[in-house]
Amino acid sequence: MRGKAWKFGDHVDTDVIIPARYLVTADPETLGAHCMEDGDPDFAKKISQGDIIIGGENFGCGSSREHAPIAIKGAGISCVIAKSFARIFFRNSINVGLPIFVCPEAAERISQGDEVTADMEVGVISDETTGESWTVPAFPEYLRGIIAAGGLVPFVASGAGR
C-alpha cells in the first residue's frame, strides 16, 4: 500500500467518518463520496486512490455500524494507521477488508501530505518523505486472506476459510 497521508486527530468517531444522514445505503461508492465530510467537506474530492489515513488515539470510536470502514474503503483509502482503534471499528475494518495498523510512533511522526507505504505481510510502515520506518506485527496469513478477498463474507463464500 502506498499513498499520501491524510492526518486526523484523536477520537475521530464514526459519525465524523460517515455522517448519519448518509446511512440510508451500504453502497461503498456512495458512502465513500461522503467520507470525512463533516471534518473536511472536500476530503473525498481531494484524495487519490490508495491514499492513507493517519489517526490518533481511539480512531473509529462511536457506533458499531460497519458503514464507517466501508466509507473509508469506498473512498479509495488503502489503509488506516493510528495510535489506537476503537475495538469494534478494528474488527469491522477487517470484516470489510480494510487494512488497519496500530503504530503510535508512525501516527505521531508522519505528517500531512507525506508519502507513506505500509506492508502488512512484512510488517513495516515507512514514511518515504522523511525516510523513517517502523516495525509493526505482520498480518497473519488468515487475516491477509480476508483482506485480499474483500472482507469476511466474500472470504467465507469462497470457501477459503475452511
Confidence of residue 23 (pLDDT cuts 50, 70, 90): very high
Rounded to two decimals, the pTM is 0.96
pLDDT digits (tens, 9 = 90+) for 123-145: 999 999 999 999 999 999 999 99
Q: What is the mean pLDDT of the chain?
A: 96
CB atoms within 10 A of CB 123: 15
d(C-alpha 71, C-alpha 145), whole Å: 21
What letter represents residue 53's amino acid? Answer: I
List phi, psi (to 5°) of 104: -55, -40
d(C-alpha 153, C-alpha 2), whole Å: 26
Q: Which residues are 132's β-sheet partners?
A: 127
Average pLDDT over residues 61-65: 89
Q: Which residues are 13's β-sheet partners?
A: 61
List phi, psi (to 5°) of 126: -130, 135
Asked whether residue 161 carries a pLDDT value surpassing 70, the answer given is no
